Amino acid sequence: MIEDTIVNTHTIYCNPCRFYCDPYRLCRLLLLCSFIVLCAGCGRSSNAGAGTPPPSTATTDHIANGASSLLDHLADVELLGRADLTARCDHSADVQFTCEHEATQPLLAAEVGASSYARWSLAFGEQLTTDFTPLTGTETLYLHMRRTGNLMPNLYLVERDGDRMAVRLNAFGLRDEWSDVHVPLAEIVDDEGNRPDFANIVEVQVVLEWADMAGELEIDSVRFASVWREPVTIGDSSLALAQALQLDTGFAATPIADGLSAITQIQFTPDHDMLVSLQTGRIWWYSDGDGDGVYDERHLYATGLPEVVGLLYDAADGAVWLGGRGQLVHTFDGDQNGVADSYDVRIDGLPWGRHQNNTLVWNPDPDPFTGERGAHWIYFGLGSTEDLEVGGPYNASILRFPRDGQGQDALEIVSKGNRNPYALVWGAAPVNGEATWQLFASENGPDFNDAPDEVNHIRWHHHYGFPTHFGATFDLPADTAPTEIDGWPYSGALYDVTAHASASGLAYVSNPAWPAAYQTLYVGLFGQVFSEEIVGHTVDRIMLTPIETETGLTFRGEPSVFMAGLERPLPMIADNDGNLVVGDYATGVVYRVEYKQ
């Protein structure tokens, strides 16, 4: 995909395209990835462990007045104010701490040191029925709360045996004003990848600990939501960003979603719903409830994977495929509540490092290479493990996988020599006046030399040069035209993309409402990462010219800037109406580009 880690004078990003920013490697050392904040502070302990606050010297227990009623489920039940739950506050001896209304609307005021603690707990383990429906881990813990001062509370989910795991509430939206704090249970994981035993969760704790802090914390709602669902509107800042974009004459960009920082992929369902993936692993599902053509609601479809850079909707059964970090995962919403409850890992253990497996696309019907009917094959790229080293037998390749396949043995190699093919797209490119399905792939060039990035026309079992050859032409014998040897032994790119521009997102527009010259291939240039020279940050239109070679038909391309003013263009796709949709990884805004006569 993109250049490996995105750096400009204002912001430092982890580039999902050029390489995986491993929190235990480069990004941990440089603190480059914003998503590490989401993982930081997660830990597992037991009530006897070193991470547990010492025995309390001051404790308040409160059970609200009223008739007790046993709980047969936790999902979508307001837990504050119930007569049958036990609310408790405790603290170490050297803490200034007051706790009011602990069972109904807890108000905590505390001054805590690095070796002390103050804690509010809500226990429900004794109020569960024998046929209790346990949590599954697909829920989201919702808290409505506010803080003052510099409080940095940790949230713990406590299991029946005392084991517990924590996350930092500041990383999930806690602010000084009243805030909606959402903690997807699937994102609670410790440093070793362990998750809580959600079926045995019996208590929620909010703990002030591990640092000098002082202030107030107030909570007025606690519940486990089966679906994190929320209304959406477009912010004024996103509208202003759209107005500042520069497009070719006659075209206009409209923001259709925002608040999606680190967006990696976009998909549309046949009903015009939109799915987006974030590098942090969240999959948001947007819908237009009133049918006015504007998305007015979104819900969290899936989360919990460490990184997602591949997203593919399956119209055959409504499943969603996710890819990244050497895995391909088939997800499904079995109970049709909007949240994936089945995660079937179809491929695991593909070698990855600096790069990984990226964009997923279905074959056209029939498959142009081998003729299978229907959406039979999933095509995707798997990048090299190092800057100038291939890695394993599947790395630096375009691969395909059958929809009913299982394991690496079901993979087929389509092409090789593709250093980091972030995006793939099938386009109905005209050849002799007839539209023919052709596969194109973007490719990030090396980080530490000036070899070009590439956009390639992918041909069956061709080699595209990496790690020794780059670009549209190679070192050719004197008086030899490139078209005479293309494919022997390497195939050249459509054109030499500016080095370090990070050729990433791809889309092919065939919309008859667009001028004929604009019904073609588009590439997003994410921009430089390691180089000081500012390059890219645009969406370019590529005019394709078919050429005949001794190894068959291929194309060359002539680029021109189509869309400027973006910070980090990354995912691109043609929507159901044939218009171009572009996501900005940095600003989190998704734009729809239309031709306005």
Evaluate whether 574 touches 581 at the Cβ level (below 8 Å). yes
Q: Alpha carbon of 110 to those of 57, 97, 107: distances in Å? A: 15, 4, 10
Structure-block tokens of residue 445: 């060039």
Mean predicted confidence (pLDDT) in 534-539: 97
d(CA 42, CA 32): 19
d(CA 31, CA 35): 10
Structure-block tokens of residue 278: 């974030």
Nearest alpha-carbon partner for 186 in 34, 300, 16, 332: 300
Mean predicted confidence (pLDDT) in 482-492: 71
Mean predicted confidence (pLDDT) in 75-98: 93
* Beta pairing, strands 179-184 & 164-168: unpaired
Q: Which residues, in sequence order, are CB contacts of 469 under 8 Å at separation 6+? A: 417, 490
Q: What's the pLDDT at 409?
A: 98
Q: What's the pLDDT at 550?
A: 85
Give yes or no on whether 5-23+30-34+230-595 and 36-227 have one common fold. Answer: no
Indicate the average pLDDT of the chain. Answer: 88
Cα-Cα end-to-end distance for the chain: 34
Q: Is the dihedral of CA 340, 39, 260, 382 positive or negative?
A: negative
DSSP symbols for 464-481? --TTT--SS--SPPTT--
Q: What is the residue extent of each domain of the chain?
A: 5-23+30-34+230-595, 36-227
Q: Check pLDDT > 70 for residue 424.
A: yes
Residues paired with 416 in a beta bridge: 397, 463
For 446-475, write each residue's pLDDT tens digit. Answer: 999 999 999 999 999 999 999 998 988 754
With H, G, I as helix, E, B as strand and everything else as coil, classify residue 237.
helix
Q: What's the pLDDT at 334?
A: 97
Q: How confident is the model at residue 549 (pLDDT cuts 50, 70, 90)?
A: confident
Q: What's the pLDDT at 208?
A: 97
Q: Check pLDDT > 70 for residue 213.
A: yes
- When mean pLDDT is compared across 23-32, 48-57, 87-96, 152-161, the lowest value belongs to 23-32
Mean predicted confidence (pLDDT) in 242-265: 98
204 vs 57: which has the higher pLDDT: 204
Evaluate whether 10 touches 3 at the Cβ level (below 8 Å). no
Q: Check pLDDT > 80 for residue 444.
A: yes
Structure-block tokens of residue 88: 């408790």
Q: What's the pLDDT at 488?
A: 73
- pTM, rounded to two decimals: 0.90
For 370-392, write each residue's pLDDT tens digit. Answer: 999 999 999 999 999 999 999 99
For 221-249, write each residue's pLDDT tens digit. Answer: 999 999 999 999 999 999 999 999 999 99
d(CA 39, CA 273): 29
- The correct answer on CATH 2.120.10.30 for the domain covering 5-23+30-34+230-595 is yes
- The correct answer on CATH 3.40.50.2000 for the domain covering 36-227 is no
Q: Which residues, in sequence order, are CB contacts of 378 under 8 Å at separation 6+? A: 312, 321, 328, 360, 361, 362, 400, 401, 402, 403
Nearest alpha-carbon partner for 90 in 77, 102, 75: 102
Evaluate whether 424 touches 398 at the Cβ level (below 8 Å). yes
- When mean pLDDT is compared across 12-21, 199-208, 308-317, the lowest value belongs to 12-21
Q: Check pLDDT > 60 for residue 567.
A: yes
Residue 347: phi and psi, rounded to 5, are -130, 135
